[in-house]
Structure 1
Amino acid sequence: MSETAIDVAVSIEDEGWSEALPGAVELCRTMAAAALQEGAGELDGPAVEISIVLTDDAQVQELNRDWRGQDKPTNVLSFAALDDLDAPPAPIGAPILLGDVVLALETCRREADEQGKSLAHHTAHLVVHGVLHLLGWDHEEDEVEANEMERLETKVLAAFGIADPYAQAEGERR
């Protein structure tokens, strides 16, 4: 994917993100690009586009209820455009639209506090996790793929000095 341009659009729908995490837009762009570089494998084209939305628990709960049948907020949701088999093919040379990653501020902040992490590090992890989902990685159906996805996440985060999010307190992985 070295020849592919990466466009990451970040939208802040809850201004609490700006207050809680100054530099959130740049953090999201950086982590998304790193995840794309590491996890894309054979994805090739002139350009790749994704959208990251920083919003609140209420919006994520609504999306989670409407699209996943779970009426509760969650930390991150990914909506992969490549999964839409009914979408018309993109014109030749057009950017590959990967989809959207949506993060909920209150849940992300609560989890970061519970895990003793900074909001920046937790957000970085969730962006990487969400982007890997856009690329087709799945941790729910196949344990081998789940382990590989965790390895990719850990590798991307380590390049930025962020600790393994799956490490236990005693230093062992789950």
Structure 2
Amino acid sequence: MAMPELTLSLQFARFAEAAEHRSALPRGQVARWIRRALDVPGEITVRIVDAAEGQSLNRDYRQKDYATNVLTFDYSQEPVCMADLVLCAPVVAREAKEQGKTLAAHYAHLLVHGTLHAQGWDHETGEEDAEAMEAREIEILAALGLPNPY
């Protein structure tokens, strides 16, 4: 199966644990995870942030005053998927630990999740949509050799 083209920008904010997160996110691996979730060519920026930036973005754009694991800002779905995916490193690390996953495996799941959101998938519109999105995530992660994240 030919994978869609991807233009990827991978950014890391400055924070104490940035080196750990950078080592869990080799550029080639990040591109592979995102491309597997794309149905069309993509132009995607991935930014890894600290808790303060994550909380500020979530508060300003979703009116939720806490840091969340991944935020998706989608600008275009077709013919090219254009989006920013912002992942909050401390939240991702905490969740990975709580769920008994490696940091890389949890990032893979969240990048797939965010990429699906960027293409219009939405788990907050109803149970049927949530189940469909979850099933698609499981399918993509299995193709990447990663276990069911749920």
Q: Above 0.5 in TM-score? A: yes
Equivalent residue number for residue 27 of structure 1: 29
- Note the C-alpha offset of 1:3: 8.0
State whether structure 2 residue 127 is matched by structure 1 residue 143. yes
- Note the C-alpha offset of 1:97: 4.9
Amino acid corresponding to residue 138 of structure 2 in structure 1: T
State whether structure 2 residue 16 is matched by structure 1 residue 5. no
**Matches for 1:2-81 after TM superposition, within 5 Å:** 2=2, 4-14=4-14, 16-24=17-25, 25-36=27-38, 40=39, 43=40, 47-81=41-75
Deviations 1:78-136 (A, max 9, x none): 001028xxxxxx9xxxx835211000110000000011111010000000000000000
Identity of aligned residues (%): 39
**Matches for 1:98-117 after TM superposition, within 5 Å:** 98-117=82-101
Q: Distance in 2 between matches of 1:4 and 1:161?
A: 19
Equivalent residue number for residue 143 of structure 2: 159
Unmatched 5+ residue regions in structure 2? none
Q: Distance in 1 between matches of 2:97 and 2:115?
A: 23
RMSD of equivalent CA atoms: 2.2
Amino acid corresponding to residue 50 of structure 2 in structure 1: D
Deviations 1:128-155 (A, max 9, x none): 0000000000001122121111111111
Structure 1 outlier segments of 4+, above 6 Å? none
- Note the C-alpha offset of 1:28: 1.9
Amino acid corresponding to residue 23 of structure 2 in structure 1: P
Unmatched 5+ residue regions in structure 1? 84-89, 167-174
Q: Distance in 1 between matches of 2:112 and 2:47?
A: 14
